[in-house]
Amino acid sequence: DIEEPGRMADVIASHLSIKLKDKQALLETVDSKARLHKLLELLNNESEVLEMEKKIGQRVKKQMEKTQKEYYLREQMKAIQKELGDKEGRAGEAEELRAQLKELEAPDKVLEKIGKEIDRLEKMPASSAEGSVIRNYIDWLLQIPWAQFSEDDLDLSKAESILEADHYGLEKPKERVLEYLAVQQLVKEMKGPILCLVGPPGVGKTSLARSIAKSLGRKFVRISLGGVRDEAEIRGHRRTYVGAMPGRIVQALKNAGTMNPVMLLDEIDKMASDFRGDPASALLEVLDPEQNNAFSDHFVELPVDLSKVLFVTTANAVHNIPRPLLDRMELLSLSGYTELEKLEIANRHLLPKQKEAHGLRANQLTVQDDCLLRVIREYTREAGVRQLEQQLAALCRKAAKRIVSEQVEDIQIHAQQLSEYLGVARYRYGLAEQDDQIGTVTGLAWTEAGGDTLNIEVTVVPGSGKLQLTGKLGDVMKESAQAAFSYIRSKAAQWGLEPDFHEKLDIHVHVPEGAIPKDGPSAGITIATALVSAFTNRFVSKDVAMTGEITLRGRVLPIGGLKEKSLAALRAGIKTVLFPHDNERDLADIPDTVRRELTFIPVAHMDEVLQHALLEATSS
């Protein structure tokens, strides 16, 4: 028995697992009461530590029991499922995928790759994140129609009748499709052509591609490239990324369900590029017949054969398409429609379509031809027929309202009643000048929306020889004006002008509609004619429009877009078109109806232009 308090404290402390410095501090405390107080503090601390350890131990024991219980139950379930023949978890998933693989028609390399991925998936734990990535990859590989092809309908007469029924005009693209079908009949195996339909909005590029698919008996898929600026949109993302998926080309093949659809790449000229890559460069492989039989998608990681796909691309302007990409495509130009073509399209396609869309029977609404012509001339200003369709939709809405509210059986709309339905005319038909004028000439311009007329005005006032150019003109057009002015100065004597005439005058060249940017060299002869007219006080014929680039020696150089410009001249009420002699070959592309209405005069030199454009001289 221990009777002395100090000794009792030493004995108890010797049995405690406390730090050496705490034991030393206890020994150094001489007073028994103080030593017992210190010992009590140490005992309390040890008690709390033991309590905490006990709680942690109990918690760990419970967790271990739960894990062991789950493992035991899972093993029991597996044993029961094995007895019943059921599959669950990764094993069941793998079995299901192998069954799909057996039914898949694909190249051996693809089948081998899918088989390896299924084996990998089977060994993955159910909770593994990589397992879901592999499963997604396998699903995509199984959904691609590796060996599925639709059979081409090679009946030329049937294809021709489908194309004719769906579209009026557009002879060249139709002819190209029929040529492809004829070659397919002879060769049996041919790489799909890559067609690029270039033309202003609303001329039927997208709907023509759909008709091509219909005439061939193929599936049709459309990919809109407008605003695409990421290479991964074409080639896909690598499957290690979260949410990775194949590019639009492979997705389109999956949606089509065949490897030889008609694939429309819409608005190919509207693509952009940034730090994520250049999608136009990725398309080089897609649209190259020598390479696209083994197209590489970053996600799929296997060669995809695109050689049987018939690619059709559309664009409003060629100059926005990168040159290497342009070289791989066959360009087919779709210029604007003439008034008579628009009238025919309205009667055959647009009006019946809008009647059906607005719940009108064929005989409930009748729109006379003179009324349709007035809609075309005074309510639309376009190369295509999109605005025309919108106006016809407005007529159908108004007619539907009258039929319902006034209980009318049928409605006939004549040209005189048009303003009651569509309001006042938006455009003046015949934009040509109403009188012969001095210093004002009608030029012809090409825009992405088709051809247009361009009035160029020149005024001359006393001054110090300044040449002012206004109307938001581009650099090329300004240089063209400078060249025209220099040519006139060099020929001053020919027009009875003093050699230093320009030093006493200020010349102002203006192109109206100043908010619209204008550029290009084809207004050269127009500016020169306006300048000569202003300097010599000679009238310019109101019935003449012109287009052509001018040189310092007065030669007239060729231009582009003659067909579109001639259509614009016809719309504006022009009677004579002066155009470069070297563009005579382009007359073959201009519709007969336009050539009958307009007089085309080829010119090789500025003297010929002035001979046809200027009228009699007036007194100063």
Active site residues: 522, 565
Radius of gyration of the chain (CA): 41
Let me know: does 415 contact 381? Beta carbons within 8 Å.
no
CA angle 125, 127, 132 (to 5 degrees): 90
Crossing angle of helices 20-28/5-14, nearest 10°? 170
By CB atoms closer than 10 A (0-12, 13-18, 19+), residue 597 is middle
Spatial neighbors of 456 by CB under 8 A, at least 6 apart, are 440, 441, 442, 443, 509, 510, 511, 523, 526, 527, 530
Q: Which amino acid, one-letter code, is at 291?
A: Q
Rounded CA-CA distance 588/97 in Å is: 60
| Length, in residues, of the chain | 620
Spatial neighbors of 449 by CB under 8 A, at least 6 apart, are 200, 201, 316, 382, 383
Rounded CA-CA distance 396/578 in Å is: 41
Rounded CA-CA distance 203/200 in Å is: 6
Could you say which DSSP state residue 192 is in?
A: P
Residue matched to tokens 């020929």 = 491
Q: Is the dihedral of CA 134, 135, 137, 141 positive or negative?
A: positive
DSSP conformation letters of 463-519: SSS-EEEESSB-HHHHHHHHHHHHHHHHTGGGGT--TTGGGGEEEEEE-S-TTS-B-
Let me know: does 563 contact 583? Beta carbons within 8 Å.
no
Rounded CA-CA distance 261/250 in Å is: 12
Residue 107 CA: distances (Å) to CA of 35, 97, 104, 141, 302 = 88, 17, 10, 12, 10
Residue matched to tokens 């342009």 = 326
Closest to 446 in 3D by CA, of 313, 543, 335: 335
User: Long-range contacts: 86-89, Cβ < 8 Å, 24+?
Assistant: 89/126
Closest to 523 in 3D by CA, of 546, 552, 551, 490: 546
Question: Is residue 37 within a helix (H) or strand (E), and if so which, with residue range?
Answer: helix 32-84
